[in-house]
Structure 1
Amino acid sequence: MRKTTLLAAAALLGSPGLALAQNTPEENNPNVDAPFVRNIRADRPGQTITAQVLRPGRFQLETGFQRQFGGPVPAQSLSAATLRIGFFNSMELRVSQPYFHSGPTRLTESGPVDSSGWAPVIVGAKFMVSPNYDTRTQVAILVESAIPGTGSAGLRGTKWGPGGRLLVSEQIGERFGLEANFGFHQRGLTTKDIEAGQFLGTLALNGPLGNKAGFFVEAYGTGRATLSTGTTAGLYFRPSPLLRLDVTAGQAVSGPAAGTALVGAGLTFKVGK
């Protein structure tokens, strides 16, 4: 009897069901190796920011160039870089700064000001709301702000510029995904600044074109009393799992910037698992 009991216990302890129960939640997740989860994802190009939060110890640098032209405002070229750092407690820290090339001169109360140069530094953090990094529905919150006193003289701000977004990502199949953002930003911290703040809503679809290439299309709206809408589309290519290249084109459809077109290109690479 004792021998039979010992054999039964050994069989139960060695069964696949109990072995699976001893795995971590991530190891038990059937979605952990889906290409949508494992492929490099970027917060650029376009208006939409992905709900993905980088794992602790991962670094991701996203750079790009964009040309805006053909609308009611003078043509403008812009470069930008964003450094994303995966941190503990399901949090991601981020720092970004745009650079305006050959910008037009703006007239202010103190006289003409050159609008080319470094824009203010923007710092922020993403907080993951989803239960784990690999769930098919990912939800995160982004908070960020422009830092006063940073940037070139003609572009330097004197106020904090806080903003926040709710980020939602829904995986479709193994490789397609929908990304949605809803956010608000303002220049300053007073009630008057809140009343002049701007809302933002976006919806983007991205998917594969082969094993290393893909596409995205996006619609967005921004504003308050008057809504500006537009579309963006692009292609991206991953020559390696740690590197992604993209090209973009877009058009403002309605609102104050209606008729403005943009083209751009960028590069994203990551370090870490």
Structure 2
Amino acid sequence: MANRFLLGQYTETNSIFHLLDPRTKLLSMIVIMASFLLLDSFISYAAATILVLVLIFLTKIPLRIFIRGLRPLLFILMFTFIYHVMLTKGTVIWSWDMFKVTAEGLQNGTRYVLRIILLVLLASWLTLTTKPLSLAHGLEKLLAPLSKLNLPVEQFALMVVIAIRFVPTIMQELDRILLAQKARGYDIANFNPVKRIFAYIPILVPLLFTTIQRAEQLTLAIDARAFGDGKGRTVYLRLGFKPMDIAVMGTATAFPIIVMLLKMEGI
């Protein structure tokens, strides 16, 4: 399960995105994600899909790795699709008792599911091509102006990155607990989907306990290294924008403009 969850994992390749400044990737991701909220036509969704696929292709990371990261979200995607299909009013194309499927529901369900998939793939693109420490450094630099307001920018950046990095760690711990139960003859995989959901409830207690233990160990490790609040700490690698960073930011900025023009023209 941990290998299927991509958020927080980093994969080393020699792609151009691995060489970019983390601030470039953060800003580009935010701009593109914000533009996804404007998608409302087939052309705009097709353009967004092509853009994300191109970004994935340029990472030189196999597409199957990104697709594998969507598997833990299958339940959410199915629920989102069924919710819109069943509860959206419009032209009924199929009905059974109180359940009705409308053409507008199929359209809305497909749109929202595709939007979620694109958002997850884009977030995976960021974490797979950026090391956690580089991500923390880039986020800290972006939020640096807020430090003049006495906001703990360094601590916030570290907290966000640690939270993202803890996701695969928690999933690995869940795998370990499930294997321990399977060795004792309690295999959740043999249950039907409904019983499987309730079977995960008793696992939450040991999972929460081990997560708190790991958090305490991490706290002690940070204190042992005299990290403090992170203010005034120096870094070995200096961040700097290069021509490729400018080109990527220009492309990311141009995409929402194109989407807005398509929306204004009704395309």
TM-score normalised by L of structure 2: 0.22
Structure with the larger RCO, 1 or 2 (CA within 8 Å, 6+ apart): 2
Which is greater in Rg?
Answer: 1
More helix by share: 2
TM-score normalised by L of structure 1: 0.22
More strand by share: 1
